[in-house]
Chain A
């Protein structure tokens, strides 16, 4: 499998989508189920691509190209007839949560579910809650599978899950953004958590036909979460105003995601959401000449937080300390 990943990546590296598909379909011909090729070759290779971008080895253009190739390959794998064909199940809608633009994992999940007998409607990246509601009322699927890849989008996950359950439609949640245990998925109201696309099949089978509305989230940090969620844009603007052109720069994006990660961490009452983001930022943030160092950016973020957010303040201060500020 490692060998196949290497060959697949080499094809992607040279921009050869056809060769990438040949590698993937070759694995299928050699007896690996298409689902497994999707999750263990294409998805893993894409993770590697992400790491290369993070490390500054690959440009954003190359990453885009790799994503486009991966989508085509996944579509080709999805078109391989299932043998034997799976018994027909119900209708499921697959969607990325509000704000989530990493769509490859959910595309793969859509194909895996489809091959498991489900009639799948794929709604694509960043599906706003009201659009999902309209779809659910228009088409009445039996279940919703939501994907969240970046934990900062957990508030977006909460919004779509609430919407789905309000319509009585049960929800399976999956994707790296929900972490490696069921806690965050269940905290934001999912009926089931599925760590992998294959496990999402099983989770769908065990869902009830109908669900009650998602229970309200009640813990002591919720007021702080709500206050912070309202001020994300203002925080980003306040930090951005400190350096000329900062707000529209790549570095400005880091601040925006940091503020969202704080909001998400408060929502699920787990500082790891922010700490994980901070650790990632420490690896990926490389200021251009004239741009502030990470500890300086974090200190500006702390200063821009609203007064009534002691927890967020403490978490950012810890991050400042870790950044050596």
Chain B
């Protein structure tokens, strides 16, 4: 055996085909291994030309294979191709061909030769690997998108949960949307009420602050149409209608300037509460639309909650307003000040009330009272109790008689809540004010003399709202210049810190220090002493301290 045969045997054993191409003779010669690789049989004989080889190449790979070989044919040297072949039995194989081209002296191709072998196993593995990589990439992209979406929603939740103020909430939602999606965002919110309004907040990254309008059908016609005339479920992605413009003229142009619109409804508890609309330069992809819809779902609930809170606040404010006079009247000869600390939570509303009002031309009445219990049930009675005392005094009753009338009124109400109250009338007199005081089961008032002594006003009387007949005393209190009368509710003495009440001694001490000062200073220093006593946990009950000091 010669060397060449040896190599041919080795190649054949390794299933490596050898071929030769003689372009000038127009033929391609394949050895047995090549013929076996290409599935040549007696029925399907190889034609023996370059074109016959190309025909066996998979149609999708032909262009690339021919180009590579022709480039080598033109310039000479080695080439490598990796491609599929389709055998006559329809089987597809991956093969790799390596060859070289010899040129003649004129640079024309003389001949070519090379080897070809089956790389299907490798190619399949590579293809599988590629497929796997691609699917991992797809999964990673999906995870990243999901994560990003989740992050956006968590951020939105935190933002939407922060405030209960409707306008602030709308502004923050608009801000969030603009910072994420750009453009101009407009949040419209229906403010329900006797006369429904629409609140609109517009935001653009370049504006220093949001622009707000609040108005009815006439004042904010565009906002009105957006929330009232669009079907409540419609997601609008394109519209040139005029009413997408923001009502405020400062922003009309910016808000209405071309671009791509996306508007999603805001709803809660099955009713529309507003719209979120964004107009921006870039078009809206499915992902962004879905995200905004998801945010809108949450925003609807948040707006609804803010509106409920607003209503609740109005109710609480109404309760607080009814227990105090509309303003603190100036009383001639007296300097009047009040320290009133109502509970701000609706559930913690107390029944404390106070009043200062003129009775006739030269007389004034002061009252402080407390409906027992807490919450709406107590608060709802405090206003009427204050009014009853007013009415009785205006009809000419002195302090004790007024308290008796309040007692009768309460019994008629059958409220099953008792009330304590202290009432004082002040008559202007040349020698200083003449003060008459009566108490219905209430903590005794205190007089702080200008000189620094602190006296209890020893006046007794029974609880109101319990007995048909109540014993109520009435006493006269003399006030000289700088003396102060203090009416207060039990929240003062009973303010508790570490289980111990503020107490009589502390009250006297605090008052002695501010004797002779203006009423405002006395009231305020009681507030300071009280705060210092209860510390950061604050007061647990309403407190009223009404101070009237004589100025002559």
- Asked if B210 and A209 sit within 8 Å, CB to CB, the answer is yes
- Asked if A167 and B163 sit within 8 Å, CB to CB, the answer is yes
Offer 12 A-B interface pairs, CB within 8 angstroms, sorted by A.
Answer: A65-B518, A68-B521, A90-B209, A99-B532, A137-B165, A137-B309, A139-B165, A140-B163, A140-B167, A166-B162, A168-B168, A210-B159
* Chain B nearest Cβ from A5, distance in angstroms: 24
Which of B351-359, B362-370, B506-514 makes up part of the contact surface? B506-514
- Asked if B344 and A134 sit within 8 Å, CB to CB, the answer is yes
By a CB distance below 8 angstroms, the chain B residues around A281 are: none
Query: Is B453 an interface residue, CB under 8 A from the partner?
Result: no
What 9 A-B pairs have minimum CB-CB distances, sorted nearest first? A140-B165, A140-B168, A168-B162, A137-B164, A233-B498, A248-B509, A64-B521, A134-B344, A233-B497
Within 8 A of A (CB), among B489-532: 497-498, 500, 505-506, 509, 513-514, 516-518, 520-521, 524-525, 527-528, 531-532
Within 8 A of B (CB), among A180-219: 209-210, 212-213
CA distance A308 to B446 in the complex (A): 43
- Asked if A61 and B168 sit within 8 Å, CB to CB, the answer is no
- Asked if B509 and A68 sit within 8 Å, CB to CB, the answer is no
- Asked if B162 and A138 sit within 8 Å, CB to CB, the answer is no
CA distance A13 to B514 in the complex (A): 18
Query: Is A6 an interface residue, CB under 8 A from the partner?
Result: no
Chain B 46-72 per-residue mask, 1 if CB under 8 angstroms from chain A, else 0: 000000000000000000000000000
By a CB distance below 8 angstroms, the chain A residues around B506 are: 248
A90-B209, A137-B313, A229-B536 known; A210 vs B509 contact (CB < 8 Å) = no
- Asked if A138 and B536 sit within 8 Å, CB to CB, the answer is no
* Chain B nearest Cβ from A105, distance in angstroms: 16
Chain B 270-289 per-residue mask, 1 if CB under 8 angstroms from chain A, else 0: 00000000000000000000
By a CB distance below 8 angstroms, the chain A residues around B345 are: 130, 134
Partner of A130, one of B171, B344, B531: B344
CA distance A167 to B163 in the complex (A): 5
- Asked if B163 and A101 sit within 8 Å, CB to CB, the answer is no
CA distance A192 to B157 in the complex (A): 26
By a CB distance below 8 angstroms, the chain A residues around B536 are: 98-99, 155-156, 159, 229
By a CB distance below 8 angstroms, the chain B residues around A137 are: 163-165, 309, 313
A60-B513, A130-B538, A229-B536 known; A138 vs B527 contact (CB < 8 Å) = no
Partner of A131, one of B162, B209, B344: B344
Q: Which residue of B lies closest to A71 (CB)?
A: B520
Q: Which residue of B lies closest to A252 (CB)?
A: B509
Q: Which residue of A lies closest to B531 (CB)?
A: A126
* A interface secondary structure, majority: helix
Interface centre among B159, B165, B513, B527 (most CB of A within 10 A): B165
Q: Which residue of B lies closest to A232 (CB)?
A: B535
Query: Is B172 an interface residue, CB under 8 A from the partner?
Result: yes
CA distance A256 to B171 in the complex (A): 44
Query: Is A115 an interface residue, CB under 8 A from the partner?
Result: no
Q: Which residue of A lies closest to B532 (CB)?
A: A256
Query: Is B175 an interface residue, CB under 8 A from the partner?
Result: yes
By a CB distance below 8 angstroms, the chain A residues around B528 are: 101, 126
Within 8 A of A (CB), among B225-253: none
- Asked if A126 and B172 sit within 8 Å, CB to CB, the answer is no
- Asked if A136 and B163 sit within 8 Å, CB to CB, the answer is yes
Interface centre among B172, B524, B525, B528 (most CB of A within 10 A): B524
Q: Which residue of B lies closest to A156 (CB)?
A: B536
- Asked if A209 and B535 sit within 8 Å, CB to CB, the answer is no
Interface centre among B162, B167, B309 (most CB of A within 10 A): B162
Within 8 A of A (CB), among B156-184: 158-159, 162-168, 171-172, 175
Contact residues on A (Cβ < 8 Å of other chain), bracket: 35 or more
- Asked if A209 and B209 sit within 8 Å, CB to CB, the answer is yes
- Asked if B518 and A138 sit within 8 Å, CB to CB, the answer is no
* Chain B nearest Cβ from A230, distance in angstroms: 10
Given A98-B536, A168-B172, 15 more contacts at CB 8 Å?
Answer: A61-B514, A64-B525, A65-B517, A68-B520, A101-B531, A126-B528, A130-B344, A134-B344, A137-B163, A137-B165, A167-B164, A209-B172, A210-B159, A210-B172, A233-B498
Query: Is A123 an interface residue, CB under 8 A from the partner?
Result: no
Query: Is A304 an interface residue, CB under 8 A from the partner?
Result: no
Query: Is A40 an interface residue, CB under 8 A from the partner?
Result: no
A209-B171, A210-B172 known; A64 vs B509 contact (CB < 8 Å) = no
- Asked if B521 and A99 sit within 8 Å, CB to CB, the answer is no
Query: Is A323 an interface residue, CB under 8 A from the partner?
Result: no
By a CB distance below 8 angstroms, the chain B residues around A282 are: none
A168-B159, A209-B171 known; A138 vs B517 contact (CB < 8 Å) = no
Interface centre among A142, A168, A249 (most CB of B within 10 A): A168
By a CB distance below 8 angstroms, the chain B residues around A138 are: 165, 310, 313, 317
By a CB distance below 8 angstroms, the chain A residues around B171 are: 209-210
Chain A 56-97 per-residue mask, 1 if CB under 8 angstroms from chain B, else 0: 000011001100100000000000000000000010000000
CA distance A223 to B189 in the complex (A): 45
Within 8 A of A (CB), among B474-498: 497-498
Q: Which residue of B lies closest to A126 (CB)?
A: B531
Within 8 A of B (CB), among A234-282: 234, 237, 248-249, 253, 256
Query: Is A50 an interface residue, CB under 8 A from the partner?
Result: no
Interface centre among A140, A159, A209, A256 (most CB of B within 10 A): A140
A68-B518, A131-B344, A229-B536 known; A209 vs B175 contact (CB < 8 Å) = yes
CA distance A138 to B166 in the complex (A): 9
Chain A 168-182 per-residue mask, 1 if CB under 8 angstroms from chain B, else 0: 110000000000000
* Chain A nearest Cβ from B122, distance in angstroms: 55
Chain B 448-478 per-residue mask, 1 if CB under 8 angstroms from chain A, else 0: 0000000000000000000000000000000
Partner of B500, one of A139, A140, A166, A237: A237
Query: Is A128 an interface residue, CB under 8 A from the partner?
Result: yes
* Chain B nearest Cβ from A232, distance in angstroms: 6
- Asked if B505 and A248 sit within 8 Å, CB to CB, the answer is yes
By a CB distance below 8 angstroms, the chain A residues around B520 are: 68
Interface centre among B345, B514, B517 (most CB of A within 10 A): B517
Q: Which residue of B lies closest to A153 (CB)?
A: B536
CA distance A68 to B525 in the complex (A): 13
Partner of B163, one of A168, A233, A237: A168
- Asked if A61 and B163 sit within 8 Å, CB to CB, the answer is no
By a CB distance below 8 angstroms, the chain A residues around B164 are: 137, 167
A131-B344, A137-B309, A209-B171 known; A142 vs B498 contact (CB < 8 Å) = no
Chain A 132-148 per-residue mask, 1 if CB under 8 angstroms from chain B, else 0: 00101111101000000
* Chain B nearest Cβ from A279, distance in angstroms: 22
